[in-house]
Every structure is written in structure tokens, then in C-alpha cells.
Amino acid sequence: MKLQTQRAIDRWLGQFLCALVSAWVGLTQRSAARLPAHPRHIVVILLSEMGSIVLAGPMFAQLRRRFPTAQIHVLQLQKNQEVARLLALTELSRLHTLDDSSGLRLLRDILLFSWRMRLLGVDAVVDCELFSRVSSLLSFASGAPVRVGFTPHTQEGLYRGSFIHHSIPYNPYQHISKQFLSLVDALTDAGAPRNKTAPIRSVPQEPELTVDFSPTELDSYRAQLHKDHPATVERRLVLLYAGGGLLPERAWPAAHYARVAQGLCAAGFAVGLIGLKDDAELARALRAQIGHDACLDLTGYTRSIRELLMLFHAASLLITNDGGPGHFATLTPIQTMVFFGPETGRLYGPLGTRNLVLESGIACSPCLSAYNHRQTFCDGDNQCLKRIAPDPVLDQALHFLGSAA
């Protein structure tokens, strides 16, 4: 199902259904339930992009610390479950999916999930989506008496019902990982206006997620990389992700990437252009522009997220647009440089200390937010990224590579 179709259904049908459920809850439930001292089952709804799973890592760690005996269930879109499996967010039997490839499949999976959760007797649901009506409705359909999620408070529009009693006002000035942690706080503190007793905390330093690799596995992968791409034997590898994914306006200009890659190759480094198979055409165009044998097309080279992480282990630096790779890199020792423009690193920047966020800071940036459902008013001329000149980026990359030699 197309993204715009999903948004239209969520906006019009979703608001109507949220109003019906709110009326029903208002008539039948007088007060919000409280979480038992030892909950048995807690469901986390996390339908966003794969990178959001890494940003939610501290939240999952906090859930396990605070409720060590509870079984954590995770509901995701089917296309994102590879990451949940790799990061072992919970037991495989507690990973639940929604197939959004068509309307009928999505409806089928919603009904199956609701039925299974009601049979299970869920104690609480944590809805990590910002203003999605479908996730709000799923929290009610799960049958959980304790429902935690975000609220727009007095913001006009973005209505998602009034049946999430343990709600946290969404704060566009705080990093999303801190707000995820506030959802865990709300599980045990139902007092309005929801945020007065929130603890003072900094942005988490680490994602608190790990993927274990044995030295033998990493050595074997590095040896295969050297065999497939001999340029990486004598040259340290720098990875570039120039694709924009679902949101092309997040991409730093290809010509800027080419300029940086030319400088890196001239300085004695190998440059690997990474991405999905869909990015192969862009990679070919960049290689032609770069014109150096040490520039490698690695699009489609990694067959899984696990292999992508092993590639990060084998490289010295990742230069990337805002997206999943920058967040996955925080699970490895690699240094990253991440471009932000339509969205901001102050809210969605990678966790940890091994990354550098690059932003131009022009007046219209960031333009994507929860309030406009990430629909930019930009006409395709993303000046917020075009104004980040390539030569200073190259200088910063060379400075890091020199200091890490």
C-alpha cells in the first residue's frame, strides 16, 4: 500500500474511529487502570522506520530493568522485523508483525494481533508512534487496561482519541530517545498532566543494544571483502551512503558526495558506495563522476543488516544521509558523519559519542515534523543540505581519519 494512501486512511477513517472509541471508553470506563506490581505482558508498538528501533534501545533496556519478570511483546511492520530479530528486542515468539503491502493484509494482521493479545491478557501497551491513529486504535484493540502513548495536548489537528489515559505530551524540543523513556515512566505514574514527575535525564549516551560477533566471524568477513575488492587491502575503507530512501529530500547532493569521494581517494583511502539494490544506478553515476579505481560499488553487497554491521566493523568512517545506516553504525566501533536538514539531529540524531551531526541551520530547517506527518513544503530544492559545502566535510573526514590512524 502506498505511503500517501496509508496517510489518507489514517487521517480520515482513523480520526472517525478514534472518536467512536473515545466515546465508548468515556461511557464505559470511569478511571484509568493502574499497572499491577508485577505485570505479565507488556506490548510495545513501534511501526516507524528501522532507525527508530535503535533510538528506542534505551527504552527497551529501561522496561527490562523496571519490569524484570514481564514478557515484552513488540509489534512492528513486517518489513522492519529483521532489525528486531537481529537486536534480540525480545523472544522470537513475542515479535508480532503487520503486513502493510496491501489493505486486506493489513486488516487481517490487525485483527489477528488484537485477537491474540486479548487471549493473552495483556497488562499494558506502550505506543511509541507520535500521532498515528492506527497505533492508537491498536493499543485499544489489544485489550490492555493500561495504555501509554503521546498526546498533542492543545495542538490543533492530529487527533488520535482520548482513550490513552497514561499519556505524555509530545515535546518537539527533546530528543526522541528521552521521550521514549518518558513512556516507561508513565506506566507507573498515571497522574495528570503526565509530565510533572518526569525525571531529569540527559540524552542516552549509548543505544544499550548489542549485536555479538566473534573475532573469527569478523576476520572471515574482512578477508572476503579484501578478496572481492582488492583496493581495500592496502587502503583504509570509507563508506558513503548517498541514497535518500523513502524521503529523497534528506539526501546531500550527489555532486557533493562525488567531490568528497575524489578527495578521499586522492588521499589514499578506498571509498565504498553502500545502499540497497535500488541505489545501484546512483552508485554507477557517482563512480563515473569520481573516476577512480579505489571507488567501489558496494550497493547490494550486504545481504542483511548483520552483514552491513560487519562491513561497518571493517571500515574506518561512514558518511551518510539521515536514515537507518547512521543509527545502525552506533552498534559498531565506526565513526559516522550524518547530514540532517529536513529533520534535525537535535531530535533524531544518532546516540553515542562516535558521530558528528552536520546541519546548515537555515531558517526553514527542519521542515519535517510529527505535526505535518513528515510532509515537506520544500519544492525539491533542499537548500538546507545543498548549503553544506563538500570541502569542509572532506577536511573533517581527513582530520578524523588522520587522528584515528
CATH number, domain at 87?
3.40.50.2000
Residue 157 has pLDDT above 80, yes or no: no
CB count in 10 Å sphere of residue 390: 18
Angle at 142 between CA 137 and CA 147, to 5 degrees: 70
Phi, psi of 150 (to 5 degrees): -90, 150
Residue 378 has pLDDT above 90, yes or no: no
Task: Please tell me the distance from the alpha carbon of residue 394 to that of residue 260, in angstroms, as a whole number.
Answer: 5
Q: Which residues constitute the domain of residue 333? A: 215-403
Task: Please tell me the distance from the alpha carbon of residue 376 to that of residue 384, in angstroms, as a whole number.
Answer: 12
Residue 43 has pLDDT above 90, yes or no: yes
Residue 195 has pLDDT above 60, yes or no: no
Question: What are the DSSP calls for 337-377, one per residue?
Answer: EEE-SSS-HHHHPPSSSSEEEE----TT-----GGGTT---
Per-residue pLDDT, 190: 56
Terminal Cα distance for the chain, rounded: 47
For residues 176 and 257, membership in a common domain is answered with no
For residues 267 and 179, membership in a common domain is answered with no
pLDDT band at 405 (very low <50, low <70, confident <90, very high): low
For residues 172 and 279, membership in a common domain is answered with no
Of 188-192, 207-211, 286-290, the one with minimum mean pLDDT is 188-192
pLDDT band at 169 (very low <50, low <70, confident <90, very high): confident
Per-residue pLDDT, 199: 75
Domain assignment present for 93: yes
Q: What is the DSSP letter of 40?
A: S
Domain assignment present for 205: no
- For the segment 285-309, the average pLDDT, to the nearest whole number, is 95
Residue 156 has pLDDT above 70, yes or no: no
Per-residue pLDDT, 192: 45
For residues 251 and 327, membership in a common domain is answered with yes
Q: Which has the higher per-residue pLDDT, 162 or 327?
A: 327
For residue 328, give every residue at least 6 positions away whose Cβ sits within 8 Å of its Cβ, in sequence order, or none.
Answer: 50, 51, 54, 83, 305, 308, 309, 312
Number of domains composing the chain: 2
- Do 251 and 321 form a contact (C-beta atoms < 8 A)? yes
Q: Tell the burial category of 213 from Cβ atoms under 10 Å away from its Cβ (0-12, 13-18, 19+).
A: middle
Last residue in a domain, options 188, 203, 225? 188
- For the segment 240-266, the average pLDDT, to the nearest whole number, is 92
Average pLDDT across the chain, whole number: 90
For residues 140 and 241, membership in a common domain is answered with no
User: Over the stretch 56-115, which tens digit does the pLDDT of each residue have?
Assistant: 999 999 999 999 999 999 999 998 888 989 998 999 999 999 998 888 999 999 999 999
Q: Which has the higher per-residue pLDDT, 375 or 182?
A: 182
- Rounded to the nearest angstrom, the gap between the alpha carbon of residue 340 and the centroid of all alpha carbons in its chain is 14
Global confidence as pTM: 0.91
- For the segment 23-46, the average pLDDT, to the nearest whole number, is 87
Per-residue pLDDT, 193: 45
For residues 324 and 241, membership in a common domain is answered with yes
Per-residue pLDDT, 30: 67
For residues 237 and 381, membership in a common domain is answered with yes
